[in-house]
A and B are shown apart, each in its own frame.
Chain A
Amino acid sequence: MKKRSLIPILYIAFLMLPIYWLVSMSFKTTNEILSGFSLFPRTFTLENYKVIFTDPTWYWGYINSIIYVSLNTVISICVALPAAYAFSRYRFLGDKQLFFWLLTNRMAPAAVFALPFFQLYSAVGLFDTHLAVALAHCLFNIPLAVWILEGFMRGVPKELDETAYVDGYSFPRFFVTIFLPSIKAGVGVAAFFCFMFSWVELLLAKTLTAVEAKPIAATMTKTASSAGYELGLLAAAGTLTIIPGAIVIYFVRNYIAKGFALGRV
């Protein structure tokens, strides 16, 4: 084994340590966690997971999160596709300024928008719906999706479009049957990043929901404060939040590195 492969191995070990700790804690009873340090669970228990899977306030948190994250990913990709196509193929009045303005929306701290968002979505009657969170997350996901997709689309030669027109394809038919398949890696990567940023965001999701659409992360903070520190339960809930991301990343593992590399700066 070469010496330099030691660096990634050490780094990955460092990354896995807190995750291992979380997972191992989720199989312990809260009493064992509080009684002192133990590397492996002494009394292995599935009790924490049982609570989560049987209590609706817990498992609905996951369902709510997955609903608005999926909704957001679909909306972001659908509106970003034509926009990215326009940026990659055409020059039009204000295109550069528009592109930069889109990116600036990623720079706005979510903390700034929390209260106005609450008022805005209450005013339009969407408060405490999945749609509200999905739309709010568009603020930072659409610019990102446009950015990534535009990079991938620029890699497709323009001759493809022209040949399709000569062959008599209408624009929508060309876009769906020829163009989309040729950038499907880009769509995958963009969808992955939308999923990721929507899944991990909490501040806006929490501000825009109360009961009906409450995300899992908010359920966790509530439990932490109301029932004292149920550490075992919290660890189990935390462990379960890693799983959807891990599943999604497995599907795009070969493309993920390319995602940003192709985007224009």
Chain B
Amino acid sequence: MRTHNQKAWFFVLPVLLLVAFNALIPMMTVVNYSVQETFGNNVFFWEGLRWFQELLNSDRFHAALGRQFLFTGIILAVEIPLGIIIALAMPRKGMWVPVCLVLMALPMLIPWNVVGAMWNIFTLPRIGMLGYFMNDVLGVHYDMTQNPTAAWITIVIMDVWHWTSLVVLLCYAGLVSIPDAYYQAAKIDGASGWAVFRHIQLPKMKQVLTIAILLRFMDSFNIYTEPFVLTGGGPGNSTTLLSIDLVKIALGQFDLGPAAAMSLIYFAVTLLVSWLFYTLMTKDDEP
């Protein structure tokens, strides 16, 4: 049991100060901008809630938000089951385990803009490996700079390539913690492969799966660099996800007020959905 001790606050203080410095001050700046209009030169005019109202009625924002939810939905629907399948198929012990883990973690360790750039070159028609294979070997017309569907497929495959390993690593960690005795008991009872999965492996993976889904949700919802480098949000606006649109407004057009209002709504949506996931997945954990 943990003991009550208010002095523990002193242990937490450095973390609190550092994170507050990084989180609260910028957040206050954003809130401050979100209610003002500026034409440069540090001259600001009070605008009240105008930006929020405009944004909530703006088609552009709705479209970007819709694309963002679509992207995150596809990512979760593909990466979570795929990650579970791969984790289940991995060997539990032996010399190949560390080799597998290291190779699988490799894509996660590449800087995000390099990921975007390498996939961009990888998919170039004629000279990229995937582009060459699709266009010249299979004869499928594939060019993500012109075809929105191709662009979408490419960013989804890129993200699957980049992040499925996180789900695999987490699920695998949950799986190796299951004692052998459980499997032996299931064998004696004559349980089918599905029954073993449903009643032994899945419950044991629940905790790590919660973390995996939360992390994948947050990170895919906030994704910026990779799709920006890969497609630049194009062709047209077809892959302009929420954060790409946000940076376009904030740094491209320098509309600080609307961009700040958008940031706040964006953050609120992320927080709300994460909280929903969290409550739903942990609701039957504690009495």
* Residues of A with C-beta under 8 A to B21: 135
* Residues of A with C-beta under 8 A to B280: none
Interface positions, chain A 232-265, Cβ under 8 Å from B, are 234-235, 238, 241-242, 245-246, 248-250, 253-254, 256-261, 263, 265
Q: Mark A7-31, 1 if CB is under 8 A from B, else 0.
A: 1100110111111011001000000
* Residues of B with C-beta under 8 A to A6: 89
Q: Tell me the smallest distance from the CB of A174 to a CB of chain B, in Å.
A: 14
State whether B106 touches A249 (Cβ < 8 A). yes
Q: Tell me the smallest distance from the CB of A49 to a CB of chain B, in Å.
A: 16
Q: Tell me the smallest distance from the CB of B11 to a CB of chain A, in Å.
A: 4
State whether A107 touches B274 (Cβ < 8 A). yes
* Residues of B with C-beta under 8 A to A110: 222, 224
A209 to B210, CA, bound (A): 36
State whether B22 touches A136 (Cβ < 8 A). yes
Interface positions, chain B 144-199, Cβ under 8 Å from A, are 161, 164-165, 168-170, 172-174, 176-177
State whether B22 touches A18 (Cβ < 8 A). no
Q: Does A45 contact B (CB under 8 A)?
A: no
Given contacts A15-B104, A105-B23, contact A91 B2 (CB under 8 A): yes
Listed A/B pairs (6) with beta-carbon separation below 8 Å: A22-B121, A83-B14, A90-B2, A98-B12, A112-B266, A261-B177
Given contacts A8-B89, A12-B100, A91-B4, contact A107 B126 (CB under 8 A): no
Given contacts A15-B165, A108-B23, contact A202 B270 (CB under 8 A): no
B229 to A, closest residue via Cβ: A221
Interface 9-residue window, one of A51-59, A113-121, A179-187: A113-121
* Residues of A with C-beta under 8 A to B118: 18-19, 21-22, 235, 238
Q: Mark A68-112, 1 if CB is under 8 A from B, else 0.
A: 000000010001101101111111110100100010111111111
State whether B173 touches A142 (Cβ < 8 A). no
Given contacts A107-B222, A220-B117, contact A112 B101 (CB under 8 A): no
Interface SS, B side? helix
Q: Tell me the smallest distance from the CB of B27 to a CB of chain A, in Å.
A: 8
Partner of A242, one of B16, B104, B106: B106
A220 to B225, CA, bound (A): 14
Given contacts A34-B127, A107-B270, A135-B18, contact A86 B121 (CB under 8 A): no
- Those 5 A-B pairs whose CB atoms lie nearest each other, nearest first: A245-B109, A116-B26, A261-B173, A86-B11, A90-B8
A250 to B18, CA, bound (A): 30
Q: Tell me the smallest distance from the CB of A78 to a CB of chain B, in Å.
A: 8
B129 to A, closest residue via Cβ: A21
* Residues of A with C-beta under 8 A to B14: 79, 82-83
Q: Does B85 contact A (CB under 8 A)?
A: yes
A139 to B270, CA, bound (A): 17
